[in-house]
């Protein structure tokens, strides 16, 4: 088990508390089965031998929690449309270029919700050089995001019916995001604790992923994200998360917290935002 805890920590930076190991066995039983291994013990033995890369990747995939939904918590998307994106655009008007990074995109609902929000509510951005980069540590999630195929159960949650019929097309019991929206997203596999290829991001969505890291892991991830962020870029975390990091200021936009590196131009640009907690 210690070996698995270490793998979880090193490959996915997941902090699994002592006493939660049963979680690992449950999730890994499926992986063992899929690789025709007799048990979780056999799987661990194989992993210990090293060089079992597909197996290691599947193990990491099984250890990560991929819970997500379209327009999760809804308010952050209102904040994006009404204030965050307009403010960023005001500051980028000369270059007409904007980069948004969905770090930890899971199966893709988040980046596609961002893309649909832009199409519906901030269409001017479509005439800019807009990049929406979506990344996740799990290869399975990266593949799913790229495919943009969702089950009926997935489109039943959070996705406005009007957007469902406008931006997805039905294929049997599944729904696929239409090519014009899929084409807006660049998908890559990256591990947030390792150096990130992107730089100069104007907005990073780092939602509902920090909760899985211990304090040291959180710090490492924030280092990586800070380095990828433009000096006056903005950072959003999940609605139930608070960033306790003295390198960041925060503002409240509607019901959403938006963070910016301390002492940058970003903070005052969020007009009408308050420093008060609601």
Ligand X SMILES: C[S@@+](CC[C@H](N)C(=O)[O-])C[C@H]1O[C@@H](n2cnc3c(N)ncnc32)[C@H](O)[C@@H]1O
Per DSSP, the three-state class of 178 is coil
Tokens of 135: 């990344």
Beta strands in 182-268 (DSSP E): 185-189, 201-206, 229-237, 248-253, 256-261
Closer of 103 and 267 to ligand X (Cβ): 103
CA distance 121 to 247: 32
Closer of 54 and 161 to other proteins (Cβ): 161
| Site map (CB under 8 A) of other proteins, residues 134-163, x = contact | ------------------xx--xxx-xxx-
Which region, judged by CB under 8 A, interacts with other proteins, from 10-18, 168-176, 213-221, 268-276? Answer: 168-176
Q: Is 117 in the site for ligand X (CB under 6 A)?
A: no
H helical segments located in the chain = 2-12, 21-34, 40-48, 53-63, 75-79, 85-91, 109-121, 139-147, 152-155, 161-167, 179-182, 215-228, 266-269
Which of 4, 12, 31, 71 forms a contact with other proteins (CB under 8 A)? 71
- 160 interacts with, out of ligand X, other proteins, none, CB within 5 to 8 A per kind: other proteins
Query: Which residues neighbour 51 within 8 Å (Cβ) at sequence distance 6 or greater?
Result: none
Q: How far is the CB of 156 from other proteins (least distance, A)?
A: 5
Q: How far is the CB of 13 from ligand X (least distance, A)?
A: 4
For ligand X, the binding residues (CB under 6 A) are 12-14, 64-68, 72, 104, 106, 110, 136-138, 141, 191-193, 207-209, 212, 238
């Amino acid at each position: 088990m210690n070996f698995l805890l270490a793998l979880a920590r090193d490959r996915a930076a997941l902090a699994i508390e002592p006493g939660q190991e049963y979680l690992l066995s449950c999730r890994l039983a499926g992986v063992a089965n899929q690789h025709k291994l007799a048990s979780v013990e056999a799987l661990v033995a194989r992993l210990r031998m090293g060089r079992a890369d597909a197996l290691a990747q599947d193990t990491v995939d099984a250890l990560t929690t991929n819970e997500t939904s379209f327009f999760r918590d809804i308010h952050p998307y209102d904040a994006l449309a009404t204030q965050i994106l307009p403010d960023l655009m005001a500051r980028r008007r000369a270059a007409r270029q904007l980069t948004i990074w969905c770090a930890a995109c899971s199966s893709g609902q988040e980046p596609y919700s961002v893309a649909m929000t832009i199409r519906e509510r901030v269409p001017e951005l479509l005439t800019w050089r807009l990049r929406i980069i979506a990344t996740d540590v799990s290869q399975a999630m990266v593949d799913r995001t790229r495919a943009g195929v969702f089950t009926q159960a997935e489109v039943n949650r959070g996705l406005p019916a009007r957007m469902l019929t406008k931006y997805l097309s039905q294929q049997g019991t599944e729904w696929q995001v239409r090519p014009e929206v899929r084409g807006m997203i660049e998908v890559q596999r990256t591990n947030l604790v390792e150096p990130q290829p992107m730089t100069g991001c104007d907005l990073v969505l780092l939602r509902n992923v920090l909760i899985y890291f211990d304090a040291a892991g959180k710090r490492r991830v924030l280092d990586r994200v800070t380095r990828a962020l433009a000096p006056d870029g903005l950072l959003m975390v999940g609605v139930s998360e608070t960033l306790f990091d003295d390198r960041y200021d925060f503002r409240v936009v509607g019901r959403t917290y938006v963070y910016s590196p301390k002492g940058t131009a970003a903070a005052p640009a969020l007009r009408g935002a308050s420093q008060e907690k609601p």
